[in-house]
Chain A
Amino acid sequence: MINNSINELHHGLLKKDFSSVELAEYFLSRIKKLNPSINAFITVDEEKSLGQAKLADEKISKGDLNPLTGIPIAQKDIFCAKGWKTTCGSLMLDNFISPYDAYVIEAFNKAGSVNLGKTNMDEFAMGSSNETSYYGPVKNPWNLDYVPGGSSGGSAAAVASRMAPIATGTDTGGSIRQPASLCGLTGLKPTYGLVSRFGMIAFASSLDQAGPMALTAEDCAHMLNVMAGYDERDSTCINRPKEDYLANLDHSIQGLKIGIPKEFFDEGLDANVQKLVEEALNEYKKLGAELVDISLPNTSLAIPVYYVIAPAEASSNLSRYDGVRYGYRAKEYKDLMDMYFKTREQGFGEEVKRRILIGTYVLSAGYYDAYYLKAQKIRKLISNDFKEAFTKCDVIMGPAAPSVAFKSGDKKEDPLAMYLQDIYTISTNLAGLPGMSLPVGQTQGLPVGLQIIGNYFKESQMLNMAHAYQQKTQWHKMMPEGV
């Protein structure tokens, strides 16, 4: 079961090779064994998981099923799940039991999937190494001295160590693609508005998007079939016909044009990573695709723009954590103001507070035009770069992250170095475009990811491209030692 795809697990369930309960028990036992060293899960609740598995078995025996019925899944702890502790990686929500399900949770429940637990993450999704979590850092299964990336590092480590076959993630500036890259997974951030944000705890509302993390493009397609869909509870969710993301997986990619942005291959890129990305591009050439040089001239502005817009939105989104209605409240305080100060001082970690401060600053009277407004204008320029680029190519490819995983603690004290981790992923969030990462090799025993950026709602085409590569290569099947 350990390396089975969703299709294989589905057939196993159908043929009664194993039941959903057995499948859940198997992965729960792996969590019990591996999680103490990897720390990928914040909350595991065997009773709840097995309850869902029993229901799935009933469905299966009645023939009322779809490909995800009975399949175990790890859910990032950013998604509110009814009856589950939902912390977002923060002390602020350490005592928060969600009274409701997020759209994404609801969708997987409806499909009959089995929630294995809630995965660790950078606090409020702010981080690229999973070291900002209140629940301690997550370790990279490929080498426990290294970070798994972030913020969906718990989900990435859970799948890479086979504690779960699939997991959900969210991506505000690279939080699905960078950990997928660092842990050797396939992960996809959909077009902004494809997956409802309802019940997904907000970091930066105009950038946040939920997506699948799995071993293969095919599994991501299965997951996206469940996750994508219109939900009127999210006003930014786009109402469009549902697609079958499996339908085009086996299409030929002959003649498709791959844009190679020169700005993604600059001095910031690790040479070994560059080499493996270029080898992957060669593989695509062999598959019949055509490489074209393109330029995304405003790429260097993506990080500064992001670190105005995302903190601005976050500073406001996180105002609700005030100790009044739910969540953490300081034990002792003199008056209301003191309660606010102490609650937020104690309840939030360093990185979250740093970003609240930046966000509050850039929105302040007298600074708004110079920072926030200007950032919004540049955001438009970045979108226009992509629009222009997509007149010359079907998809864009490049590295997902500038390096392989780095050692725990290496960048913790240097926020700017940490922010550069997302240099190749952030611009797609700013433009609202879909992006994905798939494993294309290893260096020093650590995985390297190739990023595919598609045009709006071209997830199907991106999955087709990734799947074509995975039919010819084995990188997605590699498994860390010791798990």
Chain B
Amino acid sequence: MDWDIVIGIETHVQLKTQSKQFSAASIAYGAEPNSQACLVSLAYPGVLPVLNKEAVKCAIRFGLATDAAIAIRSVFARKNYFYPDLPKGYQISQYELPIVNHGKLTIKVGDEDKVVRILRAHLEEDAGKSVHGVSQGKSGIDLNRAGTPLLEIVTEPDMSSADEAVAYAKKLHELVQWIGICDGNMQEGSFRCDVNVSVKKKGTDKLGTRREIKNLNSFKFIKQAIDYEVNWQIETLEDGGTIEQSTILFNPDTGETRAMRTKEEANDYRYFPDPDLLPLDVNDDMINEIKSTMTELPAEVSQNLQKNLGLSEYDANEITADRAVTDFFMQVVEKGASAKITANWILGNLYSRLNESNVEIQNCPISIDALANLIKRIDDSTISNNAAKKVFDRMWQDNQLTVDAIIDDLGLKQISDSGEIESLVQQVVDSNASMVEEFKSGKDKAFNALVGQVMKLSKGKANPSQVSDILRKKIS
């Protein structure tokens, strides 16, 4: 039997504000436990929440970036349940009236564009953390994270494979960093996905019962968890079983999912509007002010790179996947370097070197100017692409030297003088008569071998395309 897979994603995005959602306590990661738990975080008697306006701005930015409707009035509600790391006994979260409604995000599925609809995005606060195993028979509570501002972004069930789900998560991850509302750090929990998965018989309209995989904090886990879960659901149904609506956890060590609680066991959260907070009113002036601070979005920038700078769609999308990379790229190009070669170099050599050394592009040891000069020397045929790699290696180690000094020092200047190349070609033709014959009898491979001989003779410095031209003329 064939099955359709239906996936919706809820993402908790930690907002890049200075302080908590409803108090002035810091949200910096990794502080001593409870050192950032102010009286509001601790839910002391009599304390009250005061909304962080920066978090509201972040939500509006997100709404604008996904072409969503910004609600002129949204309401904070209380979600009531007891847990030791939830100090008030309720979480403040927008429930019936969220600030962002009906946005969309376009992802790439193969060669096709696909729009994933965003149902809503709402502001809420994070809970604290229970710490187990600190002392025998006791659990610790760390409330540093309690009250951290989150934007929960909820999609429609628009994705139909694990790959689409991952493509969406990656795109969203890129976007929230691009618009500056999230640091994107998945290890530290700044970007976490709950994935709703169900399957239905191909061609039927009726959705199957969904199970929600909680708290996935890597793209790899999203893929693994969905794959496992889809298989499990299909097997279960094909064996005549039924799926029960439930919340499940993914275990990265075993690659399996397991049920945490079923719908029957779910809490009745007794939502009601928080009487300590007035409804959140947003006016056009506020929206326009935020709009005026927003730059182009990755999709638009990618379009421009293709149209104006002639980049391939692939390269343009790769560059614009990261705002810092885009900025770096644009600055190199503004120094007069060829856009295409720059893109190749950033996505190739520079990327792999940054990854190997675990360095962010913002901290790249090679300056914008130096990289631009290197690319100019490739572009004007002073050095070959291969020679440029050697120069690049030297630049990485010593950023005091200029590109030209390194080229001179390594003796890498490319031979582009046609007379000189001609004489090299002649030497090779003379001493490789049999190979020339092979080429003439139709073996194209022999031609490449001859080019290789010329390059070797020039110690790699001859301009390869010139070599090729001259050789072809000579022996054809």
Taking beta carbons and an 8 Å cutoff, which residues of A are in contact with B?
79-80, 86, 88, 93, 96, 98-100, 102, 197-202, 204-206, 232-236, 312-313, 315-316, 318-320, 322, 324-326, 336, 340, 360, 363-365, 368, 372
Contact = CB atoms under 8 A, between A and B. Distances in A.
Contact of A365 (B43, B82, B89, B268): B268
Interface stretch (B110-118, B151-159, B172-180, B270-278): B270-278
Nearest to A198: B48
B278 A316 contact: no
Interface string B38-61: 010011111111110000000000
B88 A320 contact: yes
Contacts of A98: 44-46
A325 B268 contact: no
B80 A363 contact: yes
A102 B46 CA distance: 8
A200 B46 contact: yes
B51 to A, nearest CB: 7
Contact of B44 (A99, A200, A234, A235): A99
| Chain A contact residues: helix, strand, loop or mixed | loop
B45 A88 contact: yes
A320 B275 CA distance: 16
A336 B86 CA distance: 14
Contacts of A233: 48, 50
25 contacts: A79-B46, A88-B45, A96-B45, A98-B45, A99-B44, A100-B39, A197-B46, A197-B48, A199-B47, A205-B275, A233-B48, A234-B48, A235-B48, A235-B276, A313-B272, A313-B275, A315-B80, A316-B80, A322-B84, A325-B42, A325-B87, A336-B84, A363-B271, A363-B272, A364-B270
Most buried by A among B44, B50, B141: B44
A79 B47 CA distance: 11
B78 interface: yes
Interface string B105-124: 00000000000000000000
Contacts of A80: 44-46
A319 B88 contact: yes
A322 B48 contact: no
Given A200-B46, A315-B80, 10 more contacts: A96-B45, A100-B39, A199-B47, A235-B51, A235-B276, A318-B89, A322-B84, A324-B87, A325-B43, A363-B272
Nearest to B42: A325
A318 B111 CA distance: 55
Given A235-B277, A236-B278, A316-B80, A322 B89 contact: yes
Most buried by B among A205, A322, A364, A368: A322
Most buried by A among B45, B268, B271: B45
B90 interface: yes
Given A312-B272, A322-B82, A364-B268, A201 B278 contact: no
Contacts of A325: 42-43, 87, 141
A131 to B, nearest CB: 22
* 9 closest Cβ pairs, A-B complex: A319-B89, A206-B275, A363-B270, A205-B275, A199-B46, A320-B43, A201-B45, A80-B46, A201-B46
Interface of B: 39, 42-51, 78, 80, 82, 84, 87-90, 141, 268, 270-272, 275-278
A123 B11 CA distance: 42
Contacts, number: 97
Contacts of A100: 39, 44
Contacts of B82: 319, 322, 340
A205 B88 CA distance: 14
A86 B45 CA distance: 9
A31 B123 CA distance: 50
A56 B359 CA distance: 62
A325 B270 CA distance: 23
B270 A360 contact: yes
B44 A236 contact: no
Contacts of B48: 197-198, 233-235
B441 to A, nearest CB: 85
B433 to A, nearest CB: 89
Contacts of B278: 235-236
Contacts of B272: 312-313, 316, 363, 368, 372
A79 B45 CA distance: 9
Contacts of B78: 316
Contacts of A364: 268, 270
Most buried by B among A96, A312, A325: A325
A279 B131 CA distance: 67
Contacts of B270: 315-316, 360, 363-365, 368
Contacts of B277: 235-236
B338 to A, nearest CB: 55
B45 A319 contact: no
B12 to A, nearest CB: 22
Contacts of A340: 82
Contacts of A313: 272, 275
A93 B45 contact: yes
Nearest to A96: B45
Contacts of A232: 50
A93 B46 CA distance: 12
A307 B272 CA distance: 16
B37 to A, nearest CB: 9
Contacts of B45: 80, 86, 88, 93, 96, 98, 201-202, 320
Contacts of A322: 82, 84, 89
